[in-house]
Amino acid sequence: MVQKYFNQLNYSLGNEDTAIDVEIVKRLGPKDIFSVAGCGSRALPLLESCNNLTMVDFSSYQLALSRLRLELYRKVDWVDYCLFFEFPPFQGQDNRHRRREIFASLELSEGDRLFFKGVFDELSWGSLLYAGSWERTFQKLSKALRFILGKNYDALFKFQNLEEQVDYFKNEFNKVRWNSLLFLLGNKSVFNALLYKGDFISKNAPESHFEYYKQSFDKLFTHSLARESFFAHLCFYGKINHSDGNPIEAKKDNFSAVKEKACGNSDISFVQGDLVEILSRDEYANKYDFLSLSDVPSYFSGDMERLFLQKISSSLKKSGVVCLRNYLRTPEADYSGFEDITEQFSGIYGLEKVGVYRFQLFQKK
């Protein structure tokens, strides 16, 4: 297989629990949002609670997948949306014929249609939900996890009561093997080789890589049910194994709300490039109430890290909010002109279903 198209996607399911962002947005009530696109799944669910959405990404392929998702919202119902991606309960069955029909019905640009035709041809018209390099990496890691944990590796997923799950995790879960797994796989060398190709974050979190991931998973398994975390499913099974683990885009209520906005008068746009440079432009001055920057600033260094908030400040309306997901690194930035409002939302961060991110929220004074 040439994989000319298949290898262009970094993310296809996505690596963030956008349900947290949706809850933050509900409380803040912004009308105009600027968001890192990812693959569309981290940005489009925000339409539930805003009027206008701008999505940005360096990668033209990630923007293409975001546009594909948007077109699906506009053209199909919730059942066909889940079937197209094979969110549970539609995994494990042959959906290729229906996927071809749905794809043929979509109004896509010629470039996007040719790209995804290539992707689907390489997938033999299977689902592209796990086609991204990030998702494929975790499918590989899940095999190592199952081998190391051995029999009953997924016992955490049987619980539907958090108190019972926490008791099992603290007292019966095989911590020796689990910690060995985190030590072997949760380190800079492995992630650099498998995912980041030399561009791994320069960590400034005080704990070691092992301690960071251990604390992250401890929080994940003691604050919410493992069966409800798409990330936990991906780690243990290499896929979302049942519908309890579906992310917010596959939840009917959010899908319906987003579909209504997507088919209505909402202004939805896509911009390719550097988010700091884009938000510094005069055309974006005083435009947004909410900037959802993902973990992008965790990768900044030097003057970019120090000055990014000052450079993008002009794009925010007064009292507008910047949402950061810090991963291994808290940006060492100039926060002047902003108020840290992170603690105002402290009650919801623990419910986040990935666990490795540390949130920061800043409001423009």
Q: What is the pLDDT of residues 323-354, one digit of tens each?
A: 999 999 999 999 999 999 999 999 999 889 99
pTM over 0.85: yes
- What was the pLDDT predicted at 191? 60
- Contact in structure between 313 and 339 (CB atoms under 8 Å): no
- Contact in structure between 55 and 37 (CB atoms under 8 Å): yes
Q: What is the pLDDT of residues 91-106, one digit of tens each?
A: 888 999 999 999 999 9
- Please state, in angstroms and as integers, the Cα–Cα distance from residue 354 to each residue in 9, 307, 342, following that order: 21, 28, 18
Task: Give, as one character, the DSSP assignment of residue 61.
Answer: H
Q: What is the pLDDT of residues 234-280, one digit of tens each?
A: 999 999 999 999 999 999 999 999 999 999 999 999 999 999 999 99
- What was the pLDDT predicted at 124? 95
Find the mean pLDDT for residues 312-321.
97
Q: How many CB atoms lie within 10 A of CB 266?
A: 14
Per DSSP, the three-state class of 364 is strand
Cα 265–16–260 angle (5° rounding)? 20
- What was the pLDDT predicted at 308? 98
Model confidence at 185, in pLDDT bands (50, 70, 90)? confident
- Contact in structure between 288 and 321 (CB atoms under 8 Å): no
In one-letter notation, the amino acid at residue 361 is: L
> Of the given ranges (31-35, 148-152, 310-314), which has the lowest mean pLDDT?
148-152
At residue 12, what are phi and psi to the nearest 5 degrees?
A: -135, -35
pLDDT for residue 120 is more than 60: yes
pLDDT for residue 151 is more than 60: yes
Percent of the chain scoring above 90 in pLDDT: 88
Sign of CA pseudo-dihedral 124, 125, 126, 131: positive
- What was the pLDDT predicted at 209? 87
pLDDT for residue 197 is more than 60: no
Model confidence at 199, in pLDDT bands (50, 70, 90)? low
* Ranges assigned E (strand) in the chain: 32-36, 52-57, 267-272, 288-292, 316-326, 338-340, 358-364
Q: Would you give the distance in Å from CA 11 to the centre of its chain?
A: 8
Q: What is the pLDDT of residues 122-138, one digit of tens each?
A: 999 999 999 999 999 89
pLDDT for residue 233 is more than 60: yes
- What was the pLDDT predicted at 194? 55
> Of the given ranges (147-156, 167-176, 191-200), which has the lowest mean pLDDT?
191-200
- What was the pLDDT predicted at 52? 95
Which among 71, 34, 69 has a CA at the least distance from the CA of 51? 34
- What was the pLDDT predicted at 74? 98
User: Between the CA atoms of 143, 147, 150 and 154, what dihedral angle is there, to the nearest 10 degrees?
Assistant: -10
Q: What is the DSSP string of 229-283?
A: -HHHHHHHHSS--SGGG--GGGSHHHHHHHHHHHTTT-EEEEEES-HHHHHTSGG
Maximal CA-CA distance, the chain:
59
- What was the pLDDT predicted at 2? 41
Mean pLDDT of the chain: 93
- Contact in structure between 216 and 356 (CB atoms under 8 Å): yes
Does residue 89 have a cis peptide bond before it, meaning omega lies within 30 degrees of 0?
A: yes
pLDDT for residue 1 is more than 50: no
pLDDT for residue 108 is more than 50: yes
- What was the pLDDT predicted at 183? 87
- Please state, in angstroms and as integers, the Cα–Cα distance from residue 84 to each residue in 98, 233, 244, 250, 263, following that order: 8, 19, 18, 11, 19
